[in-house]
Structure 1
Amino acid sequence: MSQRPWQLRFWAALLIGLICTGALAAGNPDKPFAEKHVVLQISDPDPFKQTLVLNVAANLVKHYGPDKVDIEIVAFGPGLRLLLEENANAGRIDNLVDSASVRFSACENTLSKFTQNLGREPELNAHATHVSAGVVRILDLIDEGYTLIKP
């Protein structure tokens, strides 16, 4: 049985409306029920700022719950130090990944510069995902409907 033309128009309009409002935004497929999508920027070498960005992520998870908030922390420039293997915050990063599936992205442009300056590639935290450029990753996430927060 075929649908009437008005039914097809209704469903098409509904789908377009959902897409336009961001209700079908890509987001993280591992977080299908997330109501908030947040990208946190860390581009500062200051350990206080690195701790602050992790505190913000933890506070968001505490407030919304791990299934209702989708968080990605993007590190570039001097902020990449947060994702170095020997960073003092490695345990907190492990906890955020394990308890709330927070994602961590490391800028390959910055990693390349670190490698050039050190004469070897630094070891990154096992949870760090390489992205070609941190700023581009942030812009792409904003285009997907994420809210940028730079603590």
Structure 2
Amino acid sequence: MVVMLGLALLVEAGTLYAEPMSESKPFAEKFLLLQLSDGEAEKQNKVLSVAANLLEHYGPDAIDIEITTFGPGVRLMYADNSRRERISSLMAQGVRFTVCMNTINTIERETGSDPDLHPESIPVDVGVAHILDEVEKGYVLVRP
């Protein structure tokens, strides 16, 4: 009874903090969501560099990184992107790349065809909604 009351008080006081859980990174201590909504090459390079630098700093098992693309940022995930090798290398270290399908559907309506995407990219219905959901789970959002 005393233990339960103490636990209830800790929860009430907000001193218990639950970190997001990642099936692919069960030992992660840091949880980062990088937003890319800009199609410029410089911005794409910056986002990829931030991810690579953090993997090197913390180690690939200690940080869970996701890069979410929407709007012009989805160009990063085009299959013919010149950064494909860097993207694949980051994926091999556990970085996830999500693509806003709302943006892809808009591109398809405007151009008449869907762009070919990196085969390991992860589709999400609405990129911004996905970001909000991940932030609510405890991910830190950074927009380099």
What TM-score, normalized to structure 2? 0.91
Deviation of the 1:25 alpha carbon: 2.7
The letter of the residue matching 1:76 is F
Structure of higher CA gyration radius = 1
- Which ranges in structure 2 are unaligned for 5 or more consecutive residues? none
For the residue of structure 2 that corresponds to 1:45, the secondary structure is coil
In the alignment, the residues of structure 2 paired with residue 70 and residue 125 of structure 1 have an alpha-carbon distance, to the nearest angstrom, of 20
Root mean square deviation, CA, Å: 1.9
- Which ranges in structure 1 are unaligned for 5 or more consecutive residues? none
Q: Please say if residues 32 and 140 of structure 2, whose CA atoms lie closer than 8 Å, have aligned partners that are also in contact.
A: yes
Name the count of aligned residue pairs: 144
The letter of the residue matching 1:54 is L
1:9 equivalenced with 2:5 (yes/no)? yes
Equivalent position to 1:60, from 54, 62, 74? 54
Q: Percent identity?
A: 42
Partner of 1:130 in structure 2?
123
For the residue of structure 1 that corresponds to 2:108, the secondary structure is helix
How big is each residue's C-alpha offset from its partner over 1:59-112, in whole Å with a ceiling of 9 and x where there is no partner? 01011110111100000000100001111111111100112x000000011000
Deviation of the 1:118 alpha carbon: 2.1
Inter-CA distance 96–22: structure 2 relative to 1 (3 Å threshold): farther
Q: Please say if residues 22 and 145 of structure 1, whose CA atoms lie closer than 8 Å, have aligned partners that are also in contact.
A: no
In the alignment, the residues of structure 1 paired with residue 3 and residue 40 of structure 2 have an alpha-carbon distance, to the nearest angstrom, of 58
The letter of the residue matching 2:124 is V
For the residue of structure 1 that corresponds to 2:113, the secondary structure is coil
Inter-CA distance 142–47: structure 2 relative to 1 (3 Å threshold): same
Q: Please say if residues 38 and 146 of structure 1, whose CA atoms lie closer than 8 Å, have aligned partners that are also in contact.
A: yes
What TM-score, normalized to structure 1? 0.87
